[in-house]
Structure 1
Amino acid sequence: MQKKILGAAMFGHAVESYDFVIYGSSATIIARHFFPGGSPAMAILSTLAVYGIAFVVRPLGAAVFGSIGDRRGRRTALSTVVLIMAVSTIAIAMLPGYAQAGILSPLLLLCCRLAQGISMGAEYTSAASYVMEQAPPGKRGLWISTVGSATYIGSAVATFALLALQLASPAAYAAWTWRLAFLFGGLMALVGLYLRLRLEETGTFRELEAQGATSTRPVRESFRNWRVFLLLFSVFALLAVVVHNLLGYLPTYLMTTGGIPGTTVLVSGGIALLLCTCFSVLTGVAADRFGRKPLLVAGLAVAVGGSIPAYVLARGGTLMSTVGAEILLAVPAALVGMAATVVAVELVPPRVRATSTALAYNIAYAVFGGTAPLLGALLTEKFGRLAPGGYLTVVAAIVLVIVLVALPETRGRATAGSGSESVGGRSTRVTR
């Protein structure tokens, strides 16, 4: 049963991450096909803008599907979001280019990206909430980080899929085989849907439902505890900046600013993402043993000290220097991402767990994640090649202070699945 739960949660999240990341990794080829060819720089910026716009609707997806998770069940939300991702990704694979459809082409691309953004709005936190409520005592960190590692597995698979297509035939890839990467992701998302439909609802939600204690207005209730919301928002903001510099902007930066061949970028990115997968699981193990806060502080410290050196290495022009740059961003992404997710699902009460975590996560991603690639490009153009690293350093330093001052340790919270949970060191009965 444990393998079934983890397998379905991981597979679904991996394909969601694959489908979302494949766009950022394909930014240069998408720019050629879906935007006018008069100005390559403007086409790239337009492509990155569409990348960012998908984040704007993520809070909408968080509100809608987070509420479904808290009112109708975690399983229902998980199944619905992966279906939306499957349809929208397959659609991108079949869209006509600008040469065939004119302005309709980028508009259709935008619609597909908006659907992907809505889907991602509740994917990760819903999966984390579901797994947290099914995890054995003392292994919540490991279980959640295992599912979280699927972010990097899916991203690595996307990277290697594009690499394989490019190496098979560069000319064919530039013309049409890049579409196969999107088609594959959409079909895999349908497999993820099948796996999730076979899951059972969590004991926590069933107990809340039996007691009549599910929230009728989970969005409103989530914002009432604004202190917790702002704390989670701050941590997820840094995570969004790091992750989407790593996944969304750095590949484009390396190719357009660093002059590094696309195949080198893809190989280095794949290596870094596989290492990030290992770091994520190890973070979960350490969080169960030593606590969540020490791992989160460590990740923030690496982000403060390593972001500018990462962009220095990115200028090296070799495979080794490129891998080094990717790793310096991958380590804080793993440490912060896993520790923050465990804290988030433990910090909020179960009746609004799916909604509260999804809103904090996705509003932070809408503000900081979607803008990271575009802002990175603008900062580079305005202030030079190290400017994105400086931006990362400043954000990480601010969040580090907030975490040290305000974040409680959550490892000792009562396990999910009972009618009451420990909140702020006290037992809080789940009531209407």
Structure 2
Amino acid sequence: MQKKALGAAMAGHIVESFDFIIYGYSATILAKHFFPSANPALALLSTLAIYGVAFIVRPLGGAVFGSMGDRLGRRTALCTVVLIMAVSTGAIGVLPTYAAAGIVAPVLLLLCRLGQGLSMGAEYTSAASYVMEQAPPSRRGRWISAVGGATFIGAALAVFLLLGLQLSAAGAYADWSWRVPFLVGGAIALIGLYMRLRLAESRAFTTLAERGETTSTPVRDSLRNWRVFLLLLVIFALLALVSQNFLGYLPTYLTVTGRLAPVTVLVASGIALVLCTGLSLLTGVLADRFGRKPLLVAGVVAAVLGSVPAYLVAAGGSLATTVIAEILLVIPAAVVGITATMVAVELVPVRIRATSTALTYNISYAVFGGTAPFVGALITAKFGKLAPGAYITIIAALALVVVLVALPETKNRLMPAPSRSDDPDFVPDALPHA
């Protein structure tokens, strides 16, 4: 039962990161197929802008499907979002190009990205909430790290698939086989749907529903819990910026600004992602032993100290320097990602857990994650090659202050059966303490 719950929760998130890697690494090729070729730079920026649009609608998806998770159950939300994800991702693989359909082509691409953005609005946090509510108290970190590690598993699968396509026939990939990864992503999502349909509802939500204590206004109740809401916005903002610079912008930076061969970038990314998967799982183990806050602080410090050196090393132009640059960005992405997720699902009351975590996660991703590739390209052009690293450093330094001052430790927080009379988390506007 435990393996089934973990596998089903991980499946959708594997597809989420798989798709964003595919889109990020294929941005230059998609630009040629879906936009006029007269201005390549404008076409690339347009492609990256559509990448960002999917993030903009994610808070709406978080509100809709997060509310579904809190009103109708985690399982219902998880099945719905992975179905939408399967259709949207697979559809990109069969879209007509600009040469065949004109302006209709980028419009259809935009609609698919909107569908992906809506479904992803509650994918990760719903999966994390479900897993946490099923996990043994002493192993919550390990279980959540498995879901977070799915980010890097999906990304690694995407990188190795792209590498295989590039090595087998680079010309074919630029021409037509770029479609294959999107079709594969849609198929994986359908497998995830099958797995999730076989899940039981989480024990915490079942108890809540049996007592008639589910909320009919989860968005409003989440906003009333404003101190927790703001705190989660800060830590998720840093996660969004670091992870999407690594997953979304760095590939384009290395190929366009660094003039590296796509195969070199893919090999370096694959190495970094495999290491990052292991680091994610190790973070879960350490967080169960030493607490969430020390690990989160370490991850934020890594972002402060390593971001500028990462972009400095990335300019070296070799496989070795590219691997080092990616690892410097991967470390905070993994450590912050896992511990931030733990803190979020443990801080928020059961009755609004899916909605509150989905909203904060996706508002942060809309503002800092979706704009990361676009902003990265703009500030690189204006301020030079180290500008993206400096941008991350500034945001990380601000987040570090907030984490040190305002974040409570959540490792030993009890997870009692939800009840208005005995749940210490019930007061919606109170910041829980360790």
**Superposition TM-score tier, normalisation by shorter sequence:** over 0.9
Partners in 2 of 1:367 and 1:38 — Cα distance? 30
8 Å contact from structure 2 (residues 268, 319) kept in 1: yes
- Residue 127 of structure 1 deviates from its aligned partner by 0.2
2:322 counterpart of 1:322: yes
Q: Runs of 5+ in structure 2 lacking a partner?
A: none
Partner residue in 2 for 1:142: 142
CA deviation vs aligned residue, 1:103-147 (integer Å, no higher than 9, x gap)? 111011000000000011000000000000000120001100111
- In structure 2, the partner of 1:48 is 48
Q: Quote the Cα distance in structure 2 between the aligned partners of 1:183 and 1:22.
A: 11
Hey, what does 1:210 align to over in structure 2? Answer: 210
Paired position in structure 1 for 2:228: 228
Structure 1 partner of 2:295? 295
Aligned to 1:68: 68
For each residue in 1:59-83, what CA deviation from the matched residue of structure 2 results, as whole angstroms up to 9, or x when unmatched?
Answer: 0000000000000000000011010
Structure-to-structure mapping, 1:193-342, within 5 angstroms: 193-342=193-342
Q: Is the 8 A contact 1:10 1:150 kept in 2?
A: yes
Please say which of residues 168-177 and 57-66 is displaced more in the overlay: 168-177
Structure 2 counterpart of 1:103: 103
Counterpart in 2 of 1:384? 384
Pairs aligned (count): 427
Counterpart amino acid of 2:20? Answer: F
Secondary structure of 1:162's aligned partner: helix
Does structure 1 conserve the Cα–Cα contact (< 8 Å) formed by 2:350 and 2:418?
no
SS in 2 for 1:358: helix
SS at match of 1:139: helix
What letter corresponds to residue 363 of structure 2 in structure 1?
A: I
Deviation (angstroms), 1:35? 0.8
* Residues 160-206 of structure 1: CA deviation (Å, up to 9, x unaligned): 11111111111111110110111011011100000000000011001
Q: How many Å apart are 1:270 and its aligned residue?
A: 1.1
Q: 8 Å contact 1:57–1:366 — kept in the other structure?
A: yes
Deviation at 1:214, TM superposition (A): 0.3
The Cα offsets for residues 25-71 of structure 1, whole Å up to 9 and x where unpaired, read as 21111111001111111111111000001101000000000000000
Query: How far is the alpha carbon of 1:418 from its aligned partner?
Result: 4.6
Counterpart Cα distance in 1 of 2:12 and 2:106: 28
Tell me if 1:31 matches 2:31. Answer: yes
Q: Which runs of 5+ in 1 are unaligned?
A: none
- Indicate the SS of the match to 2:121: helix
Q: One-letter code of the match for 2:176?
A: W
Matches of 1:374 and 1:416 in 2, distance apart? Answer: 44
Match of 2:184 in 1: 184
Q: Aligned partners of 1:13, 1:347: CA distance in 2, in Å?
A: 22
Query: What is the CA RMSD across the aligned residues, in angstroms?
Result: 1.4
TM-score (norm 1): 0.97
2-structure distance, mates of 1:413, 1:421: 12
Asked whether the equivalents of residues 20 and 116 of structure 1 are also in contact (C-alpha less than 8 Å), the reply is no
Q: Say if 1:19 and 1:85, in contact at 8 Å, map to a contact too.
A: no
Match of 1:160 in 2: 160
Offset of residue 11 of structure 1: 1.9
1:5 is aligned to 2:5: yes
Give yes or no for contact 2:207–2:417 (8 Å, CA) kept in 1.
Answer: yes
Q: Quick one: distance in 1 between partners of 2:275 and 2:172?
A: 30
Letter of the 1:376 partner, please give it. Answer: G
Question: What is the identity, as a one-letter code, of the residue corresponding to 1:77?
Answer: A
Matches within 5 A, 1:379-418: 379-415=379-415, 417-418=417-418
1:424 Cα offset (Å): 10
Structure 2 CA distance for aligned equivalents of residues 138 and 9 of structure 1: 19
| Matching residue of 2:130 | 130
Counterpart of 1:90 in structure 2 is 90
Moved runs in structure 1, 4+ residues, more than 4 A? Answer: none
Query: 1:212, CA displacement in angstroms?
Result: 0.5
Q: Map of 1:411-430 to 2, 5 A cutoff?
A: 411-415=411-415, 417-419=417-419, 420-423=422-425
Shift in Å, 1:20:
2.9
Q: How many percent of aligned residue pairs carry the same amino acid?
A: 67
Q: Distance in 1 between matches of 2:215 and 2:396?
A: 34
The letter of the residue matching 1:258 is G
- The question of whether the paired residues in 1 share the 8 Å contact of 2:349 and 2:426 is answered with no
In 2 relative to 1, CA 74–288 (structure 1 residues): closer, same or farther, beyond 3 Å? same
- CA shift, 1:395, in A, is 0.2
In structure 2, do the counterparts of structure 1 residues 83 and 425 end up closer, same or farther at CA, with 3 Å as the change threshold?
closer
Residues 304-360 of structure 1, C-alpha deviation per residue, up to 9 Å, x if partnerless?
000000001110111110010100000000110000000000001000000000000
Q: For 2:181 and 2:205, locate their aligned partners in 1 and report how far apart those are by CA, in whole Å.
A: 37
Q: Cα 1:295–1:316, aligned 2, differ >3 Å: closer, same or farther? A: same
Counterpart AA for 1:290: F
For each residue in 1:243-284, what CA deviation from the matched residue of structure 2 results, as whole angstroms up to 9, or x when unmatched? 000000000000000010000001111111111111111111
Q: Distance in 2 between matches of 1:324 and 1:64?
A: 40
2:377 maps to a residue whose letter is A
State the secondary structure of the residue aligned to 1:316: coil
In the alignment, the residues of structure 1 paired with residue 311 and residue 382 of structure 2 have an alpha-carbon distance, to the nearest angstrom, of 16
How far apart are residue 422 of structure 1 and its match? Answer: 4.1
